[in-house]
Amino acid sequence: MARSLPHHGRWFEGLVVGDVIPHALTRTVTETDNVLLTTLTLNPARLHLDHEDAADSEFGRPLVNSMFTLALLVGLSVLETTHGTTIANLGFEEVTFPAPVFCGDTIHAETEVVAARPSGSRPDAGIVTFEHRAFNQADVLVCRARRNALMVRRPAVEPEAPGASGR
């Protein structure tokens, strides 16, 4: 028998085009985050790893690896959008980084539902296009990403949360 797990995300039917969903979680980016992601992905860019070299750049200090910024943005969005209600990430249409992120920046995010349609091949699912937006502590937009996800439709009988039987 399949386990019924709690979820916080929205079913396909709860993702209405035009809705803007603020995300509760925030995260201060650390140097460890930047170094770890940069080295795990074998990215040798001195702009992310070398303080002396970065000091001579137009930014005057190392930039946080943009792949970390993108991953953080999507991660910040999960709890209120797709936690327990997504089947698969289908891909990204567009990703932009309009301003740099530096170690010590605190990132917060919001998501707008920009499109939603039933799946043509899966009657239990729909495809949603999210526009995720990340901002630093000064409310400067630092990342914008459009992402398509295959979302579960609301079950006819919503599963009971574990331990909710009142025993």
pLDDT confidence of residue 167: 44
pTM across the whole model? 0.88
CATH topology assigned to domain 12-152 = Thiol Ester Dehydrase; Chain A (3.10.129)
The answer to whether residue 163 scores a pLDDT higher than 60 is no
Give the burial class of 43: count Cβ atoms within 10 A of its Cβ; 0-12 exposed, 13-18 middle, 19 or more buried.
middle
Instruction: Give the E-state strand segments of the chain in sequence order.
Output: 20-22, 27-28, 86-96, 106-118, 125-135, 141-152
pLDDT digits (tens, 9 = 90+) for 77-136: 999 999 999 999 999 999 999 999 999 999 999 999 999 999 999 999 999 999 999 999
Contact 32, 42 (CB under 8 A): no
Mean pLDDT of 52-67: 96
